[in-house]
Chain A
Amino acid sequence: MKLKLNIWRQEDANAKGGFETYDLDGIHGDMSFLEMLDILNNELVEKNVEPVEFDHDCREGICGMCSLQINGEPHGPDKGITTCQLHMRRFKDGDTITIEPFRAKAFPVIRDLVVDRSSFDRIQHAGGYISVNTSGNTQDANSIPVEKENADLAFNAATCIGCGACVAACKNASAMLFTSAKVSQYALLPQGEIEATERVLNMVHQMDNEGFGNCTNTGACELECPKGISLENIARMNREYLSASFKG
């Protein structure tokens, strides 16, 4: 199929970016979206044009490195997948595809479609862990049974891949779904409960400092999340945060 691509190009963080249009031919439905970009890039190199920079790594939907706002939606029009799992059969011959970087003040553009998501890392640094030594002198893994229901909920929260689609989709560029997933995972496990108060206060504080917007419960994050992280986690974090504020 033939496609017209409208792609955001930006030399570096300080440069003023803009859209460039590229025509691409010979794309098959079985190709993944990123393979389509590989082909574009190889064509650009052959024309001596600098290729389009985009983040990607595992290409099987688990590392969270790929991003891209495709036709106005993070990870493209399909739900429950990352950009690397999107296949070209989703598009038609003659389509125009607009590709932009994830946009948020807290995700500054590094180059072209590559954004800096280290704000997510800093939220994790602030408390996304259980303070246990890695010495190996811990108690036996089965010494504290965990209710299966909670273990499953914790697992569901833990499946977050940190891709940032929640922020990209949110009209307020809020990072509540990301932060709440981590807060929930630990709050639901007996091992993590002990530090729950400090953790939620610190992580929310860091989240706010990074310049993410406020949550207005539009629910866009949950729908666009490639791993289907539930909004319930946000409610849980609100609860944890408010009760922590009283205690603290």
Chain B
Amino acid sequence: MRYEVTLDDRRLRVDLAGDGRFTIDDRVVAADVREIVRGRQWSIVLEGESHEITVVTHDPLRLDVDGRDVHATVSDERTLRAGRGAVGTRTGRVELRAPMPGLLKTVHVNEGDTVERDAPIVTLEAMKMENELVAPIRGRVTKLNHRSGTKVEGGAVLAILVAE
């Protein structure tokens, strides 16, 4: 399974193989992982360096990493796909969802606009980064659910497009 992880303003890709091996940003990493407190604390010896990671809170995900405070988000393949808005149906109706909670910085279109594929629809600010969410298809914007300046939950439907 493939995951995209943000640590404050850093972004890393983690691949977890079935055999327990994993890669980080396409690099296979040797790590000895011990779960010290179930679901809460891990000791990880990674390439000889010893790290302890504690989940301070789950929602939002805040980690104590060797005594440092880190804000994290984790998206798996499914939510990443949803984030690209590829939730198409036979009717040609596509929902554009927020891949993570954040602040809707800018809405670039109006209801009724016709947009090209990959045209920017909204800018979502999350973890102090601006993420431009683009149109997954060429189509007409039939619904905009949130105005710019509002906070949105992860998975919230931001816009609905109908293929043209």
Task: Tell whether A pairs with B.
Answer: no
Q: B residues near A, CB below 8 A?
A: none
Residues of A within 8 A of B (CB): none
